Structure 1
Amino acid sequence: MSRPVIAVYPGTFDPITLGHEDIARRARELFDEVIIAVAIAHHKKTLFTLEERLEMAQTSARQWPGVRAEPFEGLISHFVQAKGGKAMVRGLRAVTDFDYEFQLAGMNGVLAPEVETVFLTPGTRYQFVSSTFVREIALLGGDAEQFVAPHVWQRLLEKRRSSAKP
Structure 2
Amino acid sequence: MKRIALFPGSFDPFTKGHEDIVLRGLNLFDEVVIGIGRNANKQRYFGLELMQQLIEETFREYPAVRVVSYDDLTANVARELGARFLLRGLRNTTDFEYENGISQVNRYIYEDVETVFLITSPHLAPISSSIIRDLHRYHKNIDNFLPYNIDQKK
TM-score, normalised on structure 1?
0.87
Report the counterpart of residue 114 of structure 2 in structure 1. Answer: 116
Secondary structure, in 3 states, of the residue corresponding to 2:149? helix
Q: Please, which moves more after superposition, 119-128 or 79-88?
A: 119-128
- Residue deviations 1:40-70 (CA, integer Å, cap 9, x gap): 2222111122211211221222242301111
Residue ranges of structure 2 left out of the alignment (5+ in a row):
none
Report the counterpart of residue 39 of structure 1 in structure 2. Answer: 37
Letter in 1 for 2:140: G
Query: Larger relative contact order (C-alpha < 8 A, sep ≥ 6)?
Result: 2
Contact 1:15–1:48 (CA under 8 A) maintained in structure 2: yes
Separation in structure 2 between the aligned mates of residue 46 and residue 121 of structure 1, nearest angstrom: 26
Equivalent positions of 1:16-35 (< 5 A) are 16-35=14-33
Report the counterpart of residue 103 of structure 2 in structure 1. Answer: 105
Report the counterpart of residue 164 of structure 1 in structure 2. Answer: none
Tell me which of 7, 10, 17 is aligned to 1:9. Answer: 7
Separation in structure 1 between the aligned mates of residue 150 and residue 65 of structure 2, nearest angstrom: 18
Contact 1:16–1:152 (CA under 8 A) maintained in structure 2: no
More helix by share: 1
Identity over the aligned pairs, expressed in percent? 33
Tell me which of 132, 135, 138 is aligned to 1:137. Answer: 135
Contact 1:61–1:69 (CA under 8 A) maintained in structure 2: no
Separation in structure 2 between the aligned mates of residue 70 and residue 7 of structure 1, nearest angstrom: 13
Report the counterpart of residue 77 of structure 1 in structure 2. Answer: 75
Separation in structure 2 between the aligned mates of residue 140 and residue 94 of structure 1, nearest angstrom: 26
| Match status 1:68 vs 2:63 | no
TM-score, normalised on structure 2?
0.94
Contact 1:25–1:64 (CA under 8 A) maintained in structure 2: no
Letter in 2 for 1:116: E
Residue ranges of structure 1 left out of the alignment (5+ in a row):
159-166
Separation in structure 1 between the aligned mates of residue 151 and residue 25 of structure 2, nearest angstrom: 24
| Pairwise CA distance, 1:112 | 0.8
RMSD of Structure 2 on Structure 1 (CA): 1.3
Separation in structure 2 between the aligned mates of residue 61 and residue 145 of structure 1, nearest angstrom: 17
